[in-house]
Amino acid sequence: MEVGAYTVLSDTVVEPYAKVKSHSVCEGAYIASGADAGPFARLRPGAHLEEGAHVGNFVELKNARLGRKAKAGHLAYLGDAEVGEETNIGAGVITANYDGKRKHKTTIGRRVFVGSNSVLIAPVTLADEAFVAGGSAINQDVPEGALAIARERQRNIEGYVKRKLEAETKAQQADSLFQIDFSREE
């Protein structure tokens, strides 16, 4: 077991050969042998890292289980989630698990790839070997081996910045016509 500097462990089990790197905070968590967390990881109650799982910098888990050799390398939030073995969670991925009244579960199968900056809107299931394209907002189940893309197609609007600046300049000029300078005495 290896625990880095400035790490806080509270009601947490860290098995032999597991690592918790510096500046991590773990509360009510379980870190299996060969798993690692941090630096700067946040494992909240119910976080469970199975053997060989990896949670990197600025990743937060709450009531979430990462399967054997699953990875969430950086900048992610996984709440009320079950993540299968050998799954890769990209940077900026979040599980949107709260609808304002209740918490919902996200289930992610084995060997799933979730592209960076994606939102998984619970309740939702990603079956084994599914692939989520980066930048997607997933609100429907994804079948086994399927590619899910849920984003608007990019379009470029030529000349937009110039027209916007011209409109702002005209608006500022119109505003200045109606300003009265009360600082001068006559």
- Residue 28, class by beta-carbon neighbours within 10 Å (0-12 exposed, 13-18 middle, 19+ buried)? middle
Distance CA 134, CA 154 (A): 13
- Asked, as a colleague might, if the bond just before 39 is cis with ω within 30 of 0, I would say yes
Q: Which of 23, 54, 74, 104 is catalytic?
A: 74
Reported residue count of the chain is: 186
Distance CA 184, CA 106 (A): 66
Residues 6+ apart with CB under 8 A from 172: none
Query: Is the CB of residue 101 less than 8 Å from the CB of residue 84?
Result: no
* Active site (annotated) includes residue 74: yes
Residue type, 115: G
Active-site residue numbers? 74
